[in-house]
Amino acid sequence: MILVYGMPPHKASTIFVLLLHRVSSAAAASALAVLIGIAVSLVRPPPLLVKKKRMRDFRLLYFFCCLLCFCFPHHGPVKVQAFTGTFGINYGRIADNIPPPESVVTLLKAAKIKNVRIYDADHNVLNAFKGSGLDLVVAVSNDHLKNMSVNEDNALSWVKENVQPFLPDTRIREIVVGNEVLGGSDQELPETLFGAIKSVYNALKRLQLADDIIVSTPHSQAVFVNSFPPSSCTFKEDVLVYMKPILDFFSEIGSPFYVNVYPFLAYTYDPEHIDINYALFEPNLGIYDAKTNLHYDNMFDAQIDAAYAALEAAGFDKMEVRVSETGWASSGDENEAGATVHNARTYNYNLRKRLFKKKGTPLRPKIVVKAYLFALFNENQKTGASSENHYGLFKADGSIAYDIGFTGLKPSCASPPLLSLKLLRVMMKTAKA
């Protein structure tokens, strides 16, 4: 500061720039710029600066220093955002008739879907996504949790084998550890989840990837005591024992809280008391939450705010909620009310429209909702209720199952989609195999 005292502004500015370029990180650069700005503003100007022109130059120098705080190039690592925009899709592959990963990438790009979740770290998929520009979420399956929780080296080996070799060409942005572990019937698995999460994060840290890849885990509605009205929602006591350390850790590393949101399942459970229009984002009277004085015109927002309420009750009111799965089945068993093509199209179309508005929920209006739709394809080998096989937006040949507004694709394979003939031949060959 002494060196530049009384120096002409243009020379002082040059020195400041040189100083800033010597620092090793953006944080240090910003701090230095702030200190310089404060020093310039507080130092008593030399006698020559009392003239109006000199004073004007002095103020310009101060403005220049402050501007550097915001405009100076970043030298340090940037925390990668794992979600571009607000809309993503789950790419499940429990089927024997869906297109190969290379064709799926073409479909996703044509539909302009940038965010994709898979339920494993299949190398064929990771190679297919190479150079695509699509952001990918990979997963550690539940059967790996125990080994990773007891030995961090197991997590390190997994990351070295399934993540590191594919970077940076395959844009792996997030690792999901387990799936719907808490709140289920398995009594042993919940004890392994937190340890596995820490092991995966520490493995990324050891490989200097922790600033590039987020670690998370998705939860079902089974972790909550109740969700109606939204403000009354809390975590189950037996779940909170395992949830609390995970939330503490996620608060430290900046991970969001992921929850699966299915108005379809809520409606099929109680169709007599739930207005289907409320579940489908269609016009309806909605519900009123007296505690928060908030009105909800759709169940999707209500279930997200229920998760926010549970987090707040547990002491984590600053954590972001993201939707890991949501969707509506186009067909199902006789007891699965509402599982029709019309309702599936209505829900997914309205969901996409709602997400593209880039707005929050009634309880968290400033936090933009982000969600992964379930699912890309109908999966003919999934077990359980018939609806499990009918969540897909696309048919096995790559054509649209029903139109929710995607451009460049036709609703039926009878009308040629805007894909190359070569791609269509590959899809048809795969479907017949």
Question: Which residues does the annotation mark as catalytic?
Answer: 180, 325
Rounded CA-CA distance 245/87 in Å is 29
List 325's β-bridge partners, or say none.
260
Task: Please list the alpha-helical segments (H only) found in 90-236.
Answer: 101-110, 123-128, 145-150, 152-162, 190-206
CB burial of 183-220 (b: ≥16 within 10 Å; e: otherwise) equals beeeeebbebbbbbbbbbbbbbeebebbebbbbbbbbb
Rounded CA-CA distance 359/283 in Å is 19
DSSP annotation of 386: G
Class of residue 292 by CB neighbours under 10 A (exposed 0-12, middle 13-18, buried 19+): middle
Determine how many CB atoms are found less than 10 A away from the CB of residue 282: 15
C-alpha pair distances (Å), 292 with each of 225, 275, 287, 302, 308: 19, 22, 12, 12, 12
List 171's β-bridge partners, or say none.
135
DSSP code per residue over 55-118: HHHHHHHHHHHHHHHHHSPP-S--PPPS--SSEEEE-----SSSPPHHHHHHHHHHTT--EEE-
Question: Could you give the 3-state DSSP secondary structure of residue 310?
Answer: helix
